[in-house]
Every structure is written in C-alpha cells, then in structure tokens.
Amino acid sequence: MSRHTGTTRASQLWFTSPYRVEVREVALPPPDPEQVLVRVSFSAPSPGTELLVYRGQLPASMALDSSLEALQQAADYPLQYGYSCVGEVQQVGSAVDPAWLGRQVFSFQPHCSHFLATTDALQPVPDDVTAEQAVFLPNMETAINLVQDGQPLIGERVLVLGQGIVGLLLSALLVRHPLQSLVAIEGRPCRQDLSRQLGVPRVLAPEQARDSITVFGDGQAATSGADLIYEVSGHPEALNLAVHLSGFASRIVIGSWYGSKPVAVELGGAAHRNRLQLITSQVSTLAPALSGRWDKQRRFELAWEMLRQVDPRQLVTQVLPLQEADSLYRQLHEEQPGILQPLFHYPE
C-alpha cells in the first residue's frame, strides 16, 4: 500500500455485443490527487439486470444508471456493467487523507480487478461485515427500498412474486414484520428451499397460485385478496398473476426492471374496478414521503445492519474468477438450475 506509485494492470469485464463478453487487460495510471486506487476482492454479478445487458435488452436511449457515476454512459456496445465491488484501498492521491489506505470499501463499479475513484464514490465497509456480505449491499438496499415503497401494515396479507436475490432478501425483511400472512411464489425448488430457510412460512409454485384462498389458506382472502403484492420475478407476465390475486385497492409494487421486454398487463375488468395501485419502485431515489427525514446514507446504514442480521452469504452458489465470465453468463442465459448468486473473486 502506498500514497501513489506507477501504473497498475487491471482486468475489466466488457460486454462487446449481445451474448458476447470479454476480459480486457488495461493499464491504470497512478491516482489523481483526489483519487484512490482500489484492488477488488469480490464483485457480484446481477443475474437479473446483467442478463438484460448480456441479451441486448436495455433501452438504448437511456443511461445505464442515471444516479451512478460509473454507469453514466448510454447502453451502447461495447460497455462495462456491474454495480457491486468490494476491495481494499491500495493507493491514495496526494490530497486524500492517508487514513483511507488499507480500508475495505464498497463501490458501485463495473466488474474489474482494480479501479480508480474519488472517496465520495466509496462506502467504508464496517469492521464486522465481511467482503462476501458487503457485495450484497445494493440488493439489500433495493429490498429495503421495496419495503419502504410498499409500506406493509400490521396484519396484512403480503405476497412476493419471485425468489431471486432481491426477492429472497425482501422476504427476509418481511419475515420481521407482524403480518397476518407472508407467501412467496417461486418455481425453482432450490429457491423455494432457500425461501423457507429464511423463514417464509408459505412458499408455492406459480401453478399453485390459482386464487387468493389457495395462496393464503384463508377464507377471508377469497373475497378480499392480497393487501400488498411485490413483483420481483423479472418476468412481465407475473404482473397479471399479481392482478389476479389482488383485491380492492390492493397495492402492487413493481420491483422488476424489464428493460426493453414488452409488458402486456390486463388492466380491464376487475383490475380497473378494484382501483389497484401500481407502484413502480426504483432504488436510485428515495420515496418523496421519506426524503425529509431519510437520505441515502441513512438507508446504507440500515442496509449494513440488515446484512448483519440476514447474513446473505448463504445465498452464494459459486465463486469463480473473472476469466470464466463468458461461461457464467451463458449458463445464466440458459437458466441452468442451481445458480442464484455467483461472485467473481480476484485473488491478490
């Protein structure tokens, strides 16, 4: 570790065209006076959003992420993507407090072995949080944002469609609420098992979700439906299941991002008469009702605490080097079973 030295060789993941990725070796210069150099230990691919990048399903007219400095470019190939890196500060610029040297930090960066950033783009990782836990920070923040947007009330019947990483973390948070019922809908047996492991009392396959009474096992639910439904499956057709299982003035929080995939929602009939509330949820911003008392830092602090309590390391299904990225994305695209949360590891 040092204040600043010579160039550093960095490995970077690039999406070069639909269904093609490559690892490029680049030379990074020494940090500018206000920059630091971070050596990455782990980064977490997103099996949901990154598949849109891999498949070429991102809207070409918009930035990859309007709130993240590292993802300001438009969705044109070739491009870098990824938003969860954890590593150690190895060099600091001449104007940076030397106390940053050696600190473990999180940053919203594309997949790479090293990166340069200013300190305002870094989140110090608490001493009692491991690197493998810290890479879940974006998904935990998303789960918290979903809870805040849905505002579950005591005694409500809540339904979560999809038990991917965000769905599982969201369910783990909802388990801590005094609900009447919490039900998860998920088709993959391995994810069903993890959902139960996290404490979800009732987990069903999509074909079992015929009506509210079969979902909640409650006679009252047959007439009133779910109070609150989260759609986090990534599949646009799941929205129609949410509409089917809702009741009068039910809230449907849409946490999935479909990219350029078409969405056909059946809003006639019961959906219209039931005055459904369709709420789009996006973690880049705070809900306006909370912004007077909450800021991003407060939400990060809550996310660190929830990472301690939930310990998402149990959701990691494989750890592999960046050089195996092409094989990983092909497996994710083919929806091969057993893959939930892979991690890229960058040995020193």
Average pLDDT over residues 294-318: 97
139-280 and 8-135+311-345 share a CATH fold: no
Tokens matching residue 101: 């040297």
| Rounded CA separation 226/218 (Å) | 11
Query: Which has more confidence, 219 or 251?
Result: 251
Question: Which of 56-65, 161-170, 175-184 is predicted least confidently?
Answer: 56-65
The model's pLDDT over 264-273, given as tens digits with 9 standing for 90+, comes to 888 887 788 8
In this predicted structure, what is the pLDDT of residue 218?
Answer: 79
Residue 10, beta-bridge partner list: 26
Distance in angstroms (rounded) separating the CA atoms of residues 192 and 171: 12
Rounded to an integer, the average pLDDT of 272-283 is: 91
Q: pTM above 0.85? A: yes
Burial classification of residue 230, based on how many CB atoms lie within 10 Å of its CB (0-12 exposed, 13-18 middle, 19 or more buried): buried
Mean pLDDT of 38-53: 93
Domain positions in the chain are 8-135+311-345, 139-280
Q: Assign domain 8-135+311-345 to a CATH class.
A: alpha beta
CATH entry, 139-280, from 3.30.565.10, 3.90.1410.10, 3.40.720.10, 3.40.50.720: 3.40.50.720
E strand spans, the chain: 8-17, 20-28, 35-43, 85-92, 104-107, 114-118, 123-124, 157-161, 181-185, 202-204, 226-231, 246-254, 277-280, 316-321, 341-345
The pLDDT value recorded for residue 72 is 44
The distance from CA 297 to its chain's CA centroid, rounded to whole angstroms, is: 18
